Amino acid sequence: MSLIVQKFGGTSVADAECIRRVAGIVAKTYRAGHGVVVVLSAQGDTTDELIAKAREVSRSPSPRELDMLLSTGEQISVALFAMAVETLGLPVVSLTGWQIGLKTDRNYGNARIKKVECERLRVELDRKNIVVVCGFQGVNRYDDVTTLGRGGSDTTAVAIAAALKADLCQIYTDVDGVYTTDPRSVPEARKLDEITYDEMLELSSLGARVLHNRSVEMAKRYHVPLEVISSFTGQPGTQVKEGLKVEQLNVSGVTRDDNVARIALVGLDDMPGKAFRIFSLLAAKKINVDVILQSIGRGDTKDISFTVPKQMLNAARAILEEHRDAIGYTDMVISDEISKVSIVGAGMVGNAGVAAEMFEALAAANINIQMISTSEIKVSVLIDARDAKQAVQVIHDKFFG
Amino acid sequence: MSLIVQKFGGTSVADAECIRRVAGIVAKTYRAGHGVVVVLSAQGDTTDELIAKAREVSRSPSPRELDMLLSTGEQISVALFAMAVETLGLPVVSLTGWQIGLKTDRNYGNARIKKVECERLRVELDRKNIVVVCGFQGVNRYDDVTTLGRGGSDTTAVAIAAALKADLCQIYTDVDGVYTTDPRSVPEARKLDEITYDEMLELSSLGARVLHNRSVEMAKRYHVPLEVISSFTGQPGTQVKEGLKVEQLNVSGVTRDDNVARIALVGLDDMPGKAFRIFSLLAAKKINVDVILQSIGRGDTKDISFTVPKQMLNAARAILEEHRDAIGYTDMVISDEISKVSIVGAGMVGNAGVAAEMFEALAAANINIQMISTSEIKVSVLIDARDAKQAVQVIHDKFFG
Residue B122 has pLDDT above 90, yes or no: yes
- What percent of chain B shows pLDDT beyond 90? 57
pLDDT in tens, B150-171: 889 999 999 999 999 999 999 9
Strands (E), B210-354: 226-230, 238-241, 253-257, 261-269, 292-294, 301-308, 331-335, 338-344
pLDDT, residue A373, reads: 79
State the DSSP code for A394: H
pLDDT-derived band at B298, boundaries 50, 70, 90: low
Q: For residue A124, is it within any domain?
A: yes
Task: Report whether pLDDT(A210) > 80.
Answer: no
User: What pLDDT is recorded for position A233?
Assistant: 81
Amino acid sitting at position A170: Q
Min distance A44 CA to chain B CA atoms (Å):
14
pLDDT > 60? residue B223: yes
Chain B CA closest to residue A63: B83
- How far, in Å, CA of B299 to CA of B262, rounded? 24
Share of residues in chain A with pLDDT > 70 (%): 94
Q: What mean pLDDT is predicted for residues A189-216?
A: 80
> How far apart are the C-alpha atoms of B13 and B152, rounded to whole Å?
16
pTM (predicted TM-score): 0.78
- Closest by Cβ to B61, choosing from A16, A56, A83: A83
Least confident of A216-225, B90-99, B244-253: B244-253
pLDDT for the residue A374: 75
Judge contact between A189 and A396, C-beta under 8 A.
yes
Q: How far is B11 from A176, CA to CA, in rounded Å?
A: 46
What is the number of domains present in chain A?
1
- Rounded to an integer, the average pLDDT of B3-21 is 95
Report the candidate in B37, B36, B95 with the shortest Cα–Cα distance to residue B71. Answer: B95
Residue of higher predicted confidence among A283 and B220:
B220
The CA distance from A221 to A140, in Å, is 22
Q: At how many degrees (to 10) do helices A213-221 and A152-163 cross?
A: 10
pLDDT of residue B247: 45
- B98–chain A Cβ distance below 8 A for any pair: yes
Which residues contact residue B316 at a Cβ distance below 8 angstroms, ignoring those fewer than 6 apart?
B263, B282, B285, B287, B308
**B244, pLDDT greater than 70:** no
Residue A204 lies in a domain: no
Query: CB distance from B61 to chain A under 8 Å?
Result: yes
Q: Is residue B401 part of a domain?
A: no
Banded pLDDT at A360 (limits 50, 70, 90): confident
Which residues 336-355 of chain A have a CB within 8 Å of chain B? Answer: none
Contact assessment for residue B182 and residue B208, using Cβ atoms and an 8 Å cutoff: yes
Tell me how far CA of residue A267 lies from CA of A326, A330, A331, A332, A385, in angstroms: 13, 5, 7, 9, 26
Of A103-107, A140-144, A232-236, A388-392, the one with minimum mean pLDDT is A232-236
Q: Would B24 be classed as within a structural domain?
A: yes
Q: Is residue A80 part of a domain?
A: yes
For the segment A256-297, what is each residue's pLDDT rounded down to a tens digit?
989 999 999 988 887 777 777 888 888 888 888 777 777 766
Read off the pLDDT of each residue in B221-230 and give the average, rounded to a whole number.
Answer: 92
Angle between helices B63-87 and B16-31 in degrees, nearest 10:
60
Of the ranges A90-104, A182-196, A237-251, which is most confident?
A: A90-104
Number of CB pairs < 8 Å for A and B? 110
Q: How far is CA B119 from CA A243, B122, B163, B334, in A?
A: 51, 5, 10, 51
Cβ-Cβ contacts under 8 Å, B66 against chain A: 79, 83
In a domain, A101, yes or no: yes
Is residue B101 assigned to a domain?
A: yes
Lowest mean pLDDT among A102-116, A157-171, B297-311, B342-356: B342-356
CATH of the domain at B40: 3.40.1160.10
Average pLDDT over residues B205-222: 80
Phi/psi region, residue B366 (left: phi>0; alpha: psi -120 to 50; beta: rest), is left
Q: Do B15 and A64 touch (CB under 8 A)?
A: no
Contacts of A83 in chain B (CB under 8 A): 54, 57-58, 61-62, 65-66, 69
Interface-testing mutation among B45, B47, B68, B75, with chain A (most A C-beta atoms within 10 A): B68
A78 contacts on B by Cβ (under 8 Å): 68
A157 touches chain B (CB under 8 A): no
For residue B211, name the pLDDT band (cuts at 50, 70, 90).
Answer: confident
Predicted confidence band of residue B231 (pLDDT cuts 50, 70, 90): confident
Q: Are B182 and B189 in contact (CB under 8 A)?
A: yes
Residue A247 confidence (pLDDT) above 60: no
Distant-in-sequence, close-in-space partners of B265: CB < 8 Å, separation ≥ 6: B278, B303, B304, B305, B320, B327, B329, B331, B332
Subunit contact B80:A120, Cβ cutoff 8 A: no
List the domain range (segments joined by +) for residue A110: 3-173
**Residue at B366 is within a domain:** no
pLDDT score for B246: 43
